[in-house]
Amino acid sequence: MGIKIYNTLTRQKEDFVPIDDDEVKFYACGPTVYNFIHIGNGRTFMMADVMRRYLEYSGYKVKFVMNVTDIDDKIINQAIKDKMEFSDVSQMYTEAYFEDIAKLGLRMPDAAPRVTEHLDAIINLIQTLILKGFAYESKGSVYYNVEKFSGYGKLSGKNTDDLVSGARVEVDETKRNPLDFVLWKAAKPGEPSWDSLWGKGRPGWHIECSAMCMTHLGDQIDIHVGGADLVFPHHENEIAQSEGATGHQFVKYWMHCGFLNVNDEKMSKSTGNFWLLRDVLKRFRPEVVRLFFLQKHYASPLNFSEDLLRDAENAHKRIEGIFNKVQQALELKDNLGSVGRDAYHADVEEFNKNLDRWEKEVVEAMNDDFNTAAAMGKIFEIFSGLNKIASTKKLNDFTLYVLKRARDLILEWNEFLGILHLSRPEGLSKKYEQLIDLLIEIRMEVRKKKDFAMSDKIRDRLTEIGILLEDGPDGTTWKLK
């Protein structure tokens, strides 16, 4: 059985068949960088990373793109509040975001496009929409004419008549229709703006994802992920924009992550009921937070509280303890070559038989719309079984074989689950260390010349290969991820 995905568009679980055999094209909506990300954002980002890794584990080559929204009302407002340039605010929180997700064990996307670096693509896409009759200019702004796109509402299941009757009376008279949404916002005094065919202005939120997705992955992609709050209007509008411009289907599988809630209410910056991911990670190990997320299916809502994290911490302590016991048993020279039956022989035989079943079941669970909750259930059963049989006393060859088999399976699955922290091989050679120091020096030089794009590139590339740079008052240090 191959992978099945619940597709928000068709409201069905479907067999996953990529458009192109060579590469899965995968886009996730990234953060708006006006503040540090909260642990709710972290859940959605992490689950996208788990999906990406599982696809790779299953043999697919994946191109994973996650944008950074680096111009937006919220960023402008934050910059005014902090008396800073908007670009310094977004730069600072972009760096913080990459640090946070790296700490949670997420891999860098293959591309992390920023809106301010894609103005040409955005303007071209808007121009195409105007030429094709899907958009119109009005007082220096450009709007999408929702009436013109017959498929509007197909993702969210909303009906345009209901939407119109439900829409609040619009004060904005620049729009023809209350449902029309902005593609290009005419510049307001004092706000950052860029030149365009319609005068100075800046892009609307929805158009950026269509443009960046199409720039980096092409007109048709396999998977598009975001939190459940993005189904409408963000993703509905992305479909209208991209399909209006190209005339064909934009995304094959739309996937949406459930909310991380506090007392059954969505965690969000606006209500103030949030925990920053970096604060959580000061108190809990990344593997604990990962385990907490993985115990629930990505699409289900998940309640967050400190007590629930503590429960995850206890569960983690237990499995880590068992894992270490198994490692120890396998490493003890004493055990090797010992013969005969040991006290647990019958248990070991049964465990080995169960392992055949669990091995299949974990993969089946993950294939079933990335059901990490079911997969974790099986993995906990494996740990319970291991706990019984892993003793560091003399074990016979068969027991050692079974322990090794279970350990290797867990390590294999850890590639996409990331629930066990494995110590990295020691000893980068002196030359490697000197090379990293040289890169840090070059980065300092480019920062002095205000080439932040290059500085970021050096930092991001190093993060990608597992070397984390940390900027502090006394300069930049590095450590292995």
In the complex, the residues that contact ligand AMP under the rule CB under 6 A are 29, 31-32, 40-41, 43-44, 226-227, 229-230, 257, 259-260, 266-268
Total length of the chain: 481
Report, in Å, the least distance between residue 224 CB and Zn ion. Answer: 8
By C-beta, is 209 or 403 nearer to Zn ion?
209
Q: Which of these, 295, 299, 300, lies nearest to 314 by C-alpha position?
A: 295
Q: Could you say whether residue 68 binds Zn ion (CB under 5 A)? A: no
Tell me if residue 89 falls in helix, strand or coil: helix
Residue 213 host element (H or E)? helix 205-217
**Token pair listed for 387:** 């706990």
**Could you tell which of Zn ion, ligand AMP, none binds residue 385, using a CB distance below 5 to 8 A set by kind?**
none
**Could you tell which of Zn ion, ligand AMP, none binds residue 32, using a CB distance below 5 to 8 A set by kind?**
ligand AMP
Residue 246: Cβ within 10 Å count = 17
Report, in Å, the least distance between residue 355 CB and Zn ion. Answer: 42
Report, in Å, the least distance between residue 41 CB and Zn ion. Answer: 13
**DSSP state at residue 36:** P
Report, in Å, the least distance between residue 67 CB and ligand AMP. Answer: 10
By C-beta, is 224 or 378 nearer to Zn ion?
224
**Could you tell which of ligand AMP, Zn ion, none binds residue 94, using a CB distance below 5 to 8 A set by kind?**
none
Contact residues for 59 (Cβ-Cβ < 8 A; gap 6+)? none
Tell me if residue 28 falls in helix, strand or coil: strand
**Could you tell which of ligand AMP, Zn ion, none binds residue 210, using a CB distance below 5 to 8 A set by kind?**
none
Contact residues for 385 (Cβ-Cβ < 8 A; gap 6+)? 347, 351, 354, 355, 406
By C-beta, is 29 or 217 nearer to Zn ion?
29
User: Site for Zn ion (CB under 5 A): which residue of 47, 125, 155, 209?
Assistant: 209
By C-beta, is 37 or 363 nearer to ligand AMP?
37
**Token pair listed for 325:** 């016991």
| Residues paired with 262 in a beta bridge | 265
Angle at 49 between CA 424 and CA 9, to 5 degrees: 165
CA distance 431 to 458: 18
Tokens 């963000």 belong to which residue? 234
Report, in Å, the least distance between residue 29 CB and Zn ion. Answer: 3
By C-beta, is 50 or 410 nearer to ligand AMP?
50
Q: Binding pattern to Zn ion, positions 26-45, x when CB under 5 A? A: ---x----------------
Report, in Å, the least distance between residue 7 CB and ligand AMP. Answer: 17
Report, in Å, the least distance between residue 209 CB and Zn ion. Answer: 3
Q: DSSP readout, 40-79?
A: HHHHHHHHHHHHHHHHHHTT--EEEEE-BB--SHHHHHHH
Report, in Å, the least distance between residue 40 CB and ligand AMP. Answer: 3
By C-beta, is 36 or 358 nearer to ligand AMP?
36
Q: DSSP readout, 443-467?
A: HHHHHHTT-HHHHHHHHHHHHHTTE
**Could you tell which of ligand AMP, Zn ion, none binds residue 40, using a CB distance below 5 to 8 A set by kind?**
ligand AMP
Task: For the chain, state the CA radius of gyration.
Answer: 25
Report, in Å, the least distance between residue 39 CB and ligand AMP. Answer: 8
By C-beta, is 256 or 459 nearer to Zn ion?
256
Pair 45, 28: CB distance under 8 Å: yes
**Could you tell which of Zn ion, ligand AMP, none binds residue 209, using a CB distance below 5 to 8 A set by kind?**
Zn ion
**Could you tell which of Zn ion, ligand AMP, none binds residue 383, using a CB distance below 5 to 8 A set by kind?**
none
CA distance 395 to 385: 16
Helix-, strand-, coil-residue percentages of the chain, each rounded to 5: 50, 15, 35
Q: Could you say whether residue 217 binds Zn ion (CB under 5 A)? A: no
Q: Which residue is nearest to ligand AMP (CB)?
A: 227
By C-beta, is 251 or 410 nearer to ligand AMP?
251
Question: Interface residues with Zn ion (CB under 5 A)?
Answer: 29, 209
